[in-house]
Chain A
């Protein structure tokens, strides 16, 4: 059995205990096991606004506790949590205060000069469409499969694959300048 399958079995057992017996300790184990990735997901979605991301992460776990009856085990528990977190993120964008904060983050000035390839990929990610960013975040960074990303983002599988391909193609185009170091110096 792979590590990932073993982890999923442990999560499932803990979730069952929490759901059937109202076992808070089991749920606490689940929070400790997954808080790191859920918070990282939300920090990325909220452009490193750590405080807002942690607020949403708390909301995510409270919702997960309330909705445990709806967890049937058709997806991994971690994937189910990512889906709740993404839904919380979308809902937060609908509220004016948080939405304004998110917009402000999007219009931040990029550094005037290219420092290195890593910085460029970060800038490139910000230039992608919201859907492409979300797909690449979940697939390439959080390590979800296309199927899992489709479940989290509530998108058809084909759409997820298309966004992943397009996003990577755009990044490749934007980073093509790295072929010629001289061109890099000229481009701000």
Chain B
């Protein structure tokens, strides 16, 4: 017998592979385990509505207006720091929510 070549090695490897496994109820077991599929639009609609409501509520807040004014004027003031902290907190919460949601999926 000659030393095996590439083609023979591949043939032997293919022969060593038993092929697809018969179903034997596997698919049914998988289907029973599937969670309900979540729709994305209610989540994003809720998030959007919440953001709009939040913006409307905060629009008249004096400290926020002062912070915005100082930001445009380039003055570092307590209201501006508060505004930045609020923005940071909201961004952090949104990122955490997004990551948790992605991990869950």
Contacts and interface: CB of A to CB of B under 8 A. Distances in A.
Interface residues of A, number: 40
A57 B1 CA distance: 40
A136 B9 CA distance: 10
Interface in A103-122: 117-118, 121-122
Interface residues of B, number: 32
Interface in B1-50: 1-6, 9-10, 12-23, 26-27, 29-31, 33-35, 37, 39-40
A36 B35 contact: no
Contacts of A44: 17
A181 B34 contact: no
Please classify the interface of chain B as helix (H, G, I), strand (E, B), loop, or mixed, using the class held by over half of its residues: loop
B5 A172 contact: yes
25 contacts: A22-B37, A24-B31, A24-B34, A24-B37, A31-B27, A36-B19, A36-B21, A40-B19, A44-B17, A58-B33, A61-B30, A62-B30, A62-B33, A62-B35, A65-B35, A65-B37, A118-B15, A118-B16, A140-B14, A141-B14, A141-B16, A168-B6, A172-B5, A178-B1, A178-B4
Interface of A: 22, 24, 27-28, 31-32, 35-37, 39-40, 43-44, 54, 57-58, 61-62, 65-69, 117-118, 121-122, 125, 136, 140-142, 168, 171-172, 175-176, 178-179, 181
